[in-house]
Structure 1
Amino acid sequence: MDSLNSKQHISSYIIHSQEEEIKRIALELHEGVGQNLYSIFTGLQFIESGAKELPMKNYVREMSQLIEKTIQEIRLLSVELHPPTLTTLGLLPAIKSYIKLYTSTFGILVDLDSIGEEKWISEKNRITVFRVCQEALANIAKYADTSNVNINFFWSEKDLKITIDDFGKGFHPDGQDNINPSYGLAAMKERMLLTGGQCHISSKIGEGTSIVLSLPLVSRE
């Protein structure tokens, strides 16, 4: 038992350290690199407005458009790494924000429903559940061959249950079809165990995959 607790403590520490580094990188991308690129973008616009020769004017405009596109991509990457709403507004708003990005990227519609009154969740557990949902959606985009996903949040006084159903092609749990995303699934289960919660995954060929997450809730001190 001591060995198991020690292993869980180490895993928790590693994950926490990774998340802090991800948060730092996301902030640097948005506040550092993004702001620098924006300064370059405004400078190019100024140069374009003063350019006399048409070829030069067109060239500077093309460079401005490229910089603007890069700024948008960096902002999207920053949000994907660590949505600001996850810290400021909570889990559900962060999931909603990520779903918009997910649908615009992969073209997969995600129907999200929340039943019951949303409860307070510690930042550590918020990040964990968000990452597990993010991994589930990433796996769906890679393997499920589907156009629609249902996510349901069920809030009670004692716990939060989340169901994710993809209605895709499914997979063999033993990996016989060579499309079993086993590493990602194992990571999802381990992350939930570290919160005291659980992650159950079931899949049938031709019927899709269903993921059920459960997270115990504690009163805010």
Structure 2
Amino acid sequence: MEGTGNSEILLVYLIGTIGMLLLAGGIFFFFIAYQKRLLHKQLELNRLVRSQQEEMIKNTIQAQENERKRIARDLHDEVGAMLSVVKLNVGRIEKKTEEEKAKGLAAETKSYLDDVILQVRRISRALLPPSLEKLGLYPAIEELANWVNKSDELTIETWVNGEQFRFDTKQELAVFRVVQELVNNAIKHANAGKININLRFSNRGLALTVSDNGRGFLLDEKMRTGLGLRNLESRTEMANAKIKLKSWPGKGTRAILYKQIND
């Protein structure tokens, strides 16, 4: 009888142990499944937040483009025209007056007006380069380089290879803005003395390289904190292209943009 009782106790103990192990295993697998669901939800939330941020950036960029077009038109059509009229009137005064001091003042004023008109044209072209719409991407980039070179802030050299082709107007503008942003960064932040811009047109697509000899930066750090780099990525996406950045502290920065012709 005693042996039978011990066997029953062992059986109950064994069943209890197995039950505890099954319960523990169930709790463990439930916890793992719960963690996976949480991770999945978090990833979905992160994707949603990224998507919303990218959409906000694209909307902001589009709003900026619309405002740039409006300001460029106002500068060219209204401010530029008014300045030209003022210059003509000052020229009339210069011709009609006989006083030498007045003639000298009128001539000096015309010189100032020439400088202001030049600056208005430069700003208007930077906001919306007319050569981009009329002639294409490379002439617009070449025009940008010429304006920067006139300022003596740094030197930009441009090259083009292959037979040039046109593509969607908005996408051309987006690529131009990428170049413009890279040039501005090299001037304002990198303290560069020289920028090289190379465009290669081929049957496969467009390859554009912008490199400078500035101070460079740590790319991973800038990607986390730099809104300007996110704008570059957004503009590249708007151009239906891809961009790759490389930078070395003290050795400059290089950006390579590639766009397929049949996208």
TM-score by length of 1: 0.87
**Distance apart, 1:48 and its partner CA:** 1.1
TM-score by length of 2: 0.74
Determine which structure has more spread, i.e. the larger CA radius of gyration. Answer: 2
What CA distance in whole angstroms lies between the structure 2 residues aligned with 1:210 and 1:118? Answer: 23
CA shift digits 1:142-161 (9 cap, x unpaired): 22233222111122223211
What CA distance in whole angstroms lies between the structure 2 residues aligned with 1:172 and 1:57? Answer: 57
Greater helix fraction, Structure 1 or Structure 2: 2
Q: Report which structure shows greater RCO (CA 8 Å, sep ≥6).
A: 1
1:35 is the counterpart of 2:60 = no
What CA distance in whole angstroms lies between the structure 2 residues aligned with 1:73 and 1:213? Answer: 30
Say which of 157, 175, 196 aligns to 2:240: 196
In structure 1, the partner of 2:202 is: 156
Q: What code does the residue aligned with 2:231 have? A: A
Q: Is the 8 A contact 2:90 2:110 kept in 1?
A: yes
RMSD, matched Cα: 2.5
In structure 2, the partner of 1:124 is: 170
Q: What code does the residue aligned with 1:89 have? A: L
CA shift digits 1:138-193 (9 cap, x unpaired): 111122233222111122223211111112221122449xxx99222221112112
Judging changes above 3 Å, is the alpha-carbon distance between structure 1 residues 46 and 76 closer, same or farther for their aligned structure 2 residues?
same
Judging changes above 3 Å, is the alpha-carbon distance between structure 1 residues 217 and 14 closer, same or farther for their aligned structure 2 residues?
farther
Q: What code does the residue aligned with 2:208 have? A: I
What CA distance in whole angstroms lies between the structure 2 residues aligned with 1:218 and 1:28? Answer: 36
Say which of 199, 220, 230 aligns to 1:186: 230
What CA distance in whole angstroms lies between the structure 1 residues aligned with 2:238 and 2:214? Answer: 29
1:137 is the counterpart of 2:183 = yes
In structure 2, the partner of 1:78 is: 124
Q: What code does the residue aligned with 1:123 have? A: T
1:18 is the counterpart of 2:64 = yes
After TM superposition, the structure 1 stretch with the greater mean CA deviation from structure 2, 6-15 or 110-119, is 6-15
**Distance apart, 1:204 and its partner CA:** 0.8
In structure 2, the partner of 1:146 is: 192
Q: What code does the residue aligned with 1:212 have? A: I
What CA distance in whole angstroms lies between the structure 1 residues aligned with 2:151 and 2:227? Answer: 23
Q: Is the 8 A contact 1:106 1:141 kept in 2?
A: no
Judging changes above 3 Å, is the alpha-carbon distance between structure 1 residues 198 and 106 closer, same or farther for their aligned structure 2 residues?
farther
CA shift digits 1:19-71 (9 cap, x unpaired): 23212211221121111111110111111111122222222222222222111
Judging changes above 3 Å, is the alpha-carbon distance between structure 1 residues 181 and 215 closer, same or farther for their aligned structure 2 residues?
farther
Query: Percent of aligned positions with the same letter in both sequences?
Result: 29
What CA distance in whole angstroms lies between the structure 1 residues aligned with 2:135 and 2:141? Answer: 11
Q: Is the 8 A contact 2:94 2:106 kept in 1?
A: yes
SS of residue matched to 1:200: strand
Structure 1: tracts of 5 or more residues without a match: none
Structure 2: tracts of 5 or more residues without a match: 1-43
Judging changes above 3 Å, is the alpha-carbon distance between structure 1 residues 181 and 36 closer, same or farther for their aligned structure 2 residues?
farther
In structure 2, the partner of 1:95 is: 141
